[in-house]
Amino acid sequence: MIKISVSLPDEVVSYLDNLVAHERFPNRSKALAGAACCLRQMELDRQYEEALKRLHPEEEKSVANSFGEKESEWPKY
């Protein structure tokens, strides 16, 4: 694990402290790590969505079916 130092606005630190106080996270470090993981997942989701838009409809159906999704659950583009 690598330690880093960050500067954050007071309201962000207050928000982190509130998350810790309400036992959403054990400490500020875990809260920030959780936020970074969420940002990473959002970026991956966006990349997957962009890649799926470039697929031919039959390829998209094949990919979706491999994950057990029903056609009725697909988002409309």
Domain residue limits, the chain: 10-71
CA dist., res. 39 & res. 72, Å (int): 28
Mean pLDDT of 43-57: 85
**Residue 76: per-residue pLDDT:** 65
Tell me the mean pLDDT in the region 4-26.
96
Q: What is the DSSP letter of 24?
A: S
**CA dist., res. 40 & res. 38, Å (int):** 5
Round to whole Å and give the CA distance between 16 and 22.
Answer: 10
Provide the pLDDT confidence category of residue 40 given band limits of 50, 70 and 90.
very high
Local confidence band at 55 (pLDDT 50, 70, 90 cut-offs)? confident
Percentage with pLDDT > 70 across the chain: 87
Cα 44 from Cα 27, distance rounded (Å): 26
Global pTM reads 0.63
Mean pLDDT (the chain) is 86
- C-alpha distances out from residue 57 to 5, 6, 37, 52, 76, Å: 47, 45, 31, 9, 12
Helix 28-53 / helix 10-21 crossing angle, nearest 10 deg: 100
- pLDDT at residue 61 is higher than 80: no
